[in-house]
């Protein structure tokens, strides 16, 4: 398969996490007693854009304190919702559509559970959602022709 020489194609996406302390009056019934937060880690398109034309699946590797710490998500939404007590680094592996012939790319996200900045106490009391997300671009350098067509809608 031929590559498109001298061309790089950039595709934007967003990845990150959202976390919220349990409501003391209604903890999730199945949450272990030491868990304090519900959280979600995700990979998604910018403004809800469908990115499945280049992203095939996402593998999230959680802390080894989690049962089945490797979670593979094969269709959108590419996300994992969990409960827990601690912050840790999540390994996120992006797998591209087969016609791309691209190797998976790995990124890391620091799961944030706790608010920071001004008014930490107030934020805690209001159980404010803690959002930590990044805009990122995947770069496909000299994509194979069949994938270049997919990427550019040709
Ligand atoms: C810490 N280095 O000590 C981190 C580890 C681990 C978080 C955080 C619960 C897992 C379970 C959980 O929140 N693990 O279901 O037991 O802060």
75-93 in b/e form (b: 16+ CB < 10 A) is ebebbbebbbeebeebebe
Residue 154's pLDDT band (cuts 50, 70, 90):
low
- Which phi and psi (to 5°) does residue 85 adopt? -125, -15
The answer, yes or no, to whether ipTM is higher than 0.90 is: yes
Q: What is the pLDDT of residue 35?
A: 97
pLDDT band at 1 (very low <50, low <70, confident <90, very high): confident
With the most atoms of ligand 1 within 8 angstroms of its CB, the residue from 22, 35, 83, 88 to mutate is: 88
- What rounded mean pLDDT belongs to the chain? 96
Tens digits of residue pLDDT in 45-76? 999 999 999 999 999 999 999 999 999 999 99
Report the alpha-carbon angle 85-91-93, nearest 5. Answer: 140
pLDDT, tens digit (0-9, with 9 covering 90-100), for 113-130: 999 989 999 999 999 999
111 has pLDDT over 90: yes
Taking a C-beta distance cutoff of 8 angstroms, is the pair 21, 127 a contact?
Answer: yes
Please state the pTM of the whole predicted model.
0.95
Cα(88) to ligand 1 centroid in Å equals 7
């Amino acid at each position: 398969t031929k590559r498109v020489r001298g061309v790089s194609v950039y595709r934007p996406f967003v990845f990150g996490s959202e976390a919220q302390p349990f409501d003391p009056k209604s903890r999730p019934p199945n949450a272990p007693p030491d868990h304090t937060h519900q959280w979600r880690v995700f990979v998604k398109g910018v403004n809800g854009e469908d990115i499945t034309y280049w992203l095939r699946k996402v593998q999230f590797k959680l802390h080894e304190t989690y049962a089945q710490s490797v979670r593979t998500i094969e269709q959108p939404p590419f996300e994992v919702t969990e409960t827990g007590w601690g912050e840790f680094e999540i390994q996120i592996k992006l797998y591209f559509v087969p016609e791309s012939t691209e190797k998976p790319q790995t990124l890391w996200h620091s799961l944030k559970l706790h608010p920071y900045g001004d008014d930490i106490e107030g934020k805690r009391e209001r159980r404010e959602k803690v959002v930590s997300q990044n805009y990122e671009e995947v770069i496909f350098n000299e994509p194979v022709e069949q994938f270049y067509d997919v990427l550019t809608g040709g």
